[in-house]
Amino acid sequence: MDWKRLFTSVEAVRLTAWRREFHRHPELCWQEAWTTARIVEVLEEAGIPILCGPQVIDRRAMRGYSPQQAREASARAAGWGASPAILARMEGVTGAVAVLDTGRPGPTVALRFDVDALPLQELQSPSHRPFAQGFCSQNPGVMHACGHDGHIAIGLGVALAAWAQLDQFAGRIKLLFQPGEEGVRGGLAMAESGVVDDVDLFFSGHLGMGNPSGQLTALYGGALASTKFDIAFTGTSVHAASAPQEGRNALLAACSAVLGMHTLCQDAQGETRLNVGTLHGGTGRNIIPDRVVLEVESRGATDQVEQRLFQAALQVCQGAARMYGCQASHLLQGYAPCGRCDEELLDPILQAAKRVPAWSRVVPRGRMDASEDVYCLINRVRQHGGKGAYLGLGADLAGRHHSAGFDFDEGALLAGAQLYLSLLGQFLGC
């Protein structure tokens, strides 16, 4: 393995250019039409075989998908210059997987990059580099405020470098460009497509996450399992003054349920979280509300704890509906299991990191305070006998994750790409 050649085949300047291009074009879950099409375009221009849309996403597992929004996203992508041919192949479904097959026997290593953005209006201020240097979001109200634009850039860089050096590898490389990580929707849908069922080793990582530039967290664990769901309460509306006794007040049911669900977070077997993030209901001041919709998420330190909480929350809603003669129904909107990485991968990761000078400090294990649907993929890999790990790729940040002024040290892009290449070399080098 010629490590030097491998590492220098990635050009920092291209990584930065890609990152900024994607930063300008942020798209939300299931609406990453331009994003997917652009990824496919870059890789296919290089000759890399790539699957996309329904080939890598199981439609039945797409929570929160709106055909109408997908059509609008596709139209917008076309307006931004996406290839009509690629858009047509996608059939309204986002996400792509590049497959670099060496033709030589060997294991299959998958790397996963999440590609979606957040519903946030980007900061318009000279202190904010994307604004100062002119690569701010051009999609109002949407922003890459978590660093997924960087993940895409790293993925493209790794793809082109590995493709260029493919003769140094045996086995197969799969590069997953996953939609809808925010809201934990895309991981399950990609896993259910079967695209990682043949994977022996799986890696993914996240920029920042509390790691400064140069610091790598080798294994993340302890992420909270999470279910995202909506609850709709329906009752009977009636004029509030002339016949209140004929109404069935869906808002009273919803308010009882909100309070009730928030009482459920005591579990001696592991920590739990529940949040009713939004509530919208009612049609007019003098009308008894007949429809109220809540966006809710439950989380738990183990899958069992989370499912117990989720089921208890549903029970609370059923009971609250009954109190006021209403009905409650729920709609699943996302899911991520509780995370765990394979301890056997710690040593290889440490070795891989050593080869990349940018990684001056390695923390063996870290704890996630959030939920991540990468664990849908890691779990699937494991169920088929493979191993997986989730990494923290240090990057100094400007602003917190998910804030309007978020930005990161672009030097981390090269460090990240080289780390992935080092891992590929370690497991597939010939």
| Closest to 185 in 3D by CA, of 319, 28, 19 | 28
With CB under 8 A as the rule, give the number of residues binding its own copies: 71
Binding segment for its own copies (CB under 8 A), chosen from 86-94, 107-115, 188-196, 269-277, is 269-277
In the complex with its own copies, the residue whose CB is nearer, 158 or 316, is 316
| Chain center to CA of 276 | 21
Binding segment for its own copies (CB under 8 A), chosen from 103-111, 133-141, 320-328, 357-365, is 320-328
Judged by CB under 8 A, which of 107, 282, 399, 429 binds its own copies? 282
DSSP secondary structure letters along 68-136:
HHHHHHHHHHHHTT--HHHHHHHTT---EEEEEE-SS---EEEEEEE---BS-PPP--TTSHHHHTT--
Read off the tokens for 268: 């001696």
The answer to whether residue 268 forms part of the interface with its own copies (CB under 8 A) is yes
Contact set for its own copies, span 21-50 (CB under 8 A):
none
In the complex with its own copies, the residue whose CB is nearer, 276 or 346, is 276
Binding mask 83-122 for its own copies (x = CB under 8 A): ------------------------------------x---
The answer to whether residue 397 forms part of the interface with its own copies (CB under 8 A) is no
Q: How far is the CB of 390 from its own copies (least distance, A)?
A: 16
In the complex with its own copies, the residue whose CB is nearer, 179 or 425, is 179
Q: Helices H, strands E: what count in the chain?
A: 13, 14
Judged by CB under 8 A, which of 106, 319, 399, 429 binds its own copies? 319
The answer to whether residue 332 forms part of the interface with its own copies (CB under 8 A) is no
Torsion (CA) 349, 354, 356, 358 in degrees, nearest 10: 100
Bridge partners of 276, per DSSP, are 296
Bridge partners of 229, per DSSP, are 296, 332
> How far, in Å, CA of 37 to CA of 32, rounded?
8
> How far, in Å, CA of 296 to CA of 3, rounded?
48
The answer to whether residue 280 forms part of the interface with its own copies (CB under 8 A) is yes
Contact set for its own copies, span 222-261 (CB under 8 A):
224, 226, 228, 239-245, 249, 251-252, 254-260
The answer to whether residue 331 forms part of the interface with its own copies (CB under 8 A) is no
Q: How far is the CB of 76 from its own copies (least distance, A)?
A: 22
In the complex with its own copies, the residue whose CB is nearer, 251 or 393, is 251
Q: How far is the CB of 180 from its own copies (least distance, A)?
A: 13
Read off the tokens for 260: 């009730």
Judged by CB under 8 A, which of 70, 136, 145, 320 binds its own copies? 320
Residue 176: count other Cβ atoms within 10 Å of its Cβ: 27
The answer to whether residue 71 forms part of the interface with its own copies (CB under 8 A) is no
Residue 266: count other Cβ atoms within 10 Å of its Cβ: 8
Contact set for its own copies, span 154-183 (CB under 8 A):
183
> How far, in Å, CA of 40 to CA of 36, rounded?
6
Q: How far is the CB of 114 from its own copies (least distance, A)?
A: 16
Q: How far is the CB of 283 from its own copies (least distance, A)?
A: 7
Contact set for its own copies, span 181-210 (CB under 8 A):
183
Q: Which residues of 403-424 are buried (b: 16+ CB within 10 A; e: fewer)?
A: bbbbbbbbbbbbbbbbbbbbbb
